């Protein structure tokens, strides 16, 4: 009797072979498609620098190269021009306020002084003569008033006598009227003399007042000329060190010419140049530090200069408390200038890759470390040690931070 043979259920060996082969072909096809158009370059691990992306506290600061300068510099300008007659103090010497540094001579100024003195003497003589004339005129006016006064008295008595006689009809009317007219004329003449005396007095007083004012102005002008003469002695305006003196004996110096400077050494400042990239972040009052003699010294930004020259701007910093001993003008220090408070951030070490990518992308290693591919990133702040990563990387990932100049435009680096 025939028996029906049932097929065995389940995977057979040939089925497993077919599945594995299919998966292998699929993988090969996927790799071929995924790597199509990808440029690859082999690099030596020993010739690249690999750093890990890390989380930590990002210190927002920049490192500057600062130079020590005097806290202030006072320039010496020639207030009066002339020829250098004598040089009393040399460059580098300490000076006190009022010390004579140079002596100049100016013959034209001497002539101006002589002319001013002559004009003043003439004006004084004129005022003196005017006063004498006024006094003589006042005496003459007083004499004339006195004479007319007595003349009035006589004519008054004659008028009164003639009036009495005319009343008794002892004289003719003509004699009476003539005596009356003479008396009235004398009175009017007296009034005119008095008015003239007052007017003459007012005029003479006004003239003398004007002459007195002119004389005072001339004296003041002469004092200013004497000050110009004193300005031929170039003096130190403050205590300090004579840092520069551009004047030799016999040299002619024009008025207003800069001939030297005095460095005020009561304190010092540190000047530094900063890349214009930071101009919006650097402001008055920011703190900085410098290290010297195994000690850290605190600095404060005193002034930010707005001018940008050759891609840099300048700042002045002063010591917040104490300053190093034996500090000297011209010394150079490395300064850490704090731009903000420390914050937690994702960071990668600084490297020369930034010059090639501008911080827009970076080569990131796969977990096995056998190859690296390009990845777009976004970098924020930076300090001398780290870049702050805002987007594109995760903590613990490995990135290539050395230069990319030799990598060309390859998308993938195979690391040997």
Query: What CATH number is attached to the domain comprising 271?
Result: 2.40.30.170
Residues 365 and 333 both lie in one domain: no
pLDDT grade for 139, boundaries at 50, 70 and 90: confident
Closest CA to 298 of 327, 269, 324, 319: 319
pLDDT grade for 1, boundaries at 50, 70 and 90: very low
Residues 112 and 225 both lie in one domain: yes
pTM of the model: 0.53
- From 287, 305, 338, give the residue that closes a domain: 338
Residues 203 and 272 both lie in one domain: no
- From 282, 311, 338, give the residue that closes a domain: 338
Confirm whether 8 is domain-assigned. Answer: no
Residues 52 and 122 both lie in one domain: no
Residues 286 and 330 both lie in one domain: yes
For residues 119 and 235, is the Cβ–Cβ distance under 8 A?
no
Confirm whether 241 is domain-assigned. Answer: no
- From 207, 230, 253, give the residue that closes a domain: 230
Confirm whether 253 is domain-assigned. Answer: no
Instruction: Compute the mean pLDDT over every residue in the chain, rounded to the nearest whole number.
Output: 84
Q: pLDDT by residue (tens digit) across 274-330?
A: 999 889 989 999 999 988 777 888 999 999 999 999 999 999 999 988 888 888 888
Confirm whether 76 is domain-assigned. Answer: no
CA distance 69 to 244: 14
Confirm whether 151 is domain-assigned. Answer: yes
Residues 289 and 366 both lie in one domain: no
Give SS3 for 128: helix
Name the token pair of 224.
């200013």
In the predicted structure, residue 33 carries a pLDDT above the cut 50: no
Q: pLDDT by residue (tens digit) across 73-102?
A: 888 888 888 889 989 888 888 899 989 999
Residues 361 and 334 both lie in one domain: no
Residues 143 and 220 both lie in one domain: yes
Q: Which residues lie closer than 8 Å to 383 by C-beta, 6 or more apart? A: 58, 59, 60, 61, 62, 63
Residues 209 and 121 both lie in one domain: yes
Confirm whether 73 is domain-assigned. Answer: no
Residues 136 and 192 both lie in one domain: yes
Q: Which residues lie closer than 8 Å to 273 by C-beta, 6 or more apart? A: 64, 65, 312, 313, 314
Residues 292 and 401 both lie in one domain: no
DSSP assignment, residue 293?
T
Domain that holds residue 383: 37-57+343-415
CATH classification of the domain holding 377: 2.40.420.20
In the predicted structure, residue 110 carries a pLDDT above the cut 60: yes
Q: What is the domain count for the chain?
A: 3
CA distance 109 to 115: 10
Confirm whether 9 is domain-assigned. Answer: no
Confirm whether 51 is domain-assigned. Answer: yes
Residues 124 and 203 both lie in one domain: yes
Q: pLDDT by residue (tens digit) across 391-401?
A: 999 999 999 99
């Amino acid at each position: 009797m025939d028996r029906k043979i049932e097929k065995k259920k389940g995977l057979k060996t040939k089925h497993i072979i077919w599945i594995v082969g299919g998966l292998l072909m699929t993988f090969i096809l996927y790799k071929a498609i995924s790597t199509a158009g990808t440029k690859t370059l082999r690099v030596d691990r020993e010739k690249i620098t690999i750093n890990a992306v890390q989380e930590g506290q990002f210190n927002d600061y920049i490192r500057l190269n600062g130079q020590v300068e005097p806290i202030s510099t006072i320039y010496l300008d020639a207030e009066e021009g002339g020829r250098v007659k004598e040089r009393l103090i040399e460059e580098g010497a300490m000076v006190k306020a009022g010390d004579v540094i140079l002596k100049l001579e100016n013959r034209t100024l001497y002539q101006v002084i002589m002319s001013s003195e002559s004009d003043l003497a003439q004006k004084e003589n004129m005022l003196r003569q005017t006063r004498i004339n006024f006094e003589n005129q006042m005496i003459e006016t007083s004499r004339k008033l006195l004479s007319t006064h007595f003349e009035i008295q006589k004519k008054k008595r004659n008028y009164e006598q003639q009036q009495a006689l005319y009343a008794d009809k002892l004289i003719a009317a003509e004699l009476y009227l003539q005596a009356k007219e003479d008396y009235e004329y004398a009175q009017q003449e007296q009034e005119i003399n008095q008015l003239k005396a007052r007017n003459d007095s007012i005029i003479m007083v006004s003239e003398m007042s004007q002459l007195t004012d002119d004389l005072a102005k001339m004296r003041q002008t002469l004092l200013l000329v004497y000050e110009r003469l004193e300005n031929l002695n170039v003096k130190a305006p403050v205590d300090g060190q004579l840092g520069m003196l551009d004047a030799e004996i016999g040299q002619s110096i024009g008025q207003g010419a800069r001939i030297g400077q005095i460095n005020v050494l009561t304190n010092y400042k540190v000047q530094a140049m900063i890349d214009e990239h930071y101009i919006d972040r650097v402001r008055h009052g920011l703190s900085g530090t410098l290290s010297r003699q195994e000690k850290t010294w605190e600095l404060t930004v005193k002034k930010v200069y707005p001018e940008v020259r050759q891609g840099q701007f300048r700042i002045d910093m002063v010591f917040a408390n104490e300053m190093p001993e034996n500090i000297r003008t011209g010394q150079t220090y490395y300064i850490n200038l704090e731009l903000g408070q420390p914050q937690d951030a994702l960071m990668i070490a600084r490297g020369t890759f930034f010059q090639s990518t501008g911080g827009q992308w970076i080569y990131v290693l796969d977990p096995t470390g056998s190859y690296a591919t390009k990845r777009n990133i976004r970098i924020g702040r930076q300090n001398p040690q780290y870049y702050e990563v805002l987007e594109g990387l995760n903590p613990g990932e490995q990135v290539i931070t050395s230069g990319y100049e030799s990598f060309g435009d390859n998308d993938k680096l195979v690391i040997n």
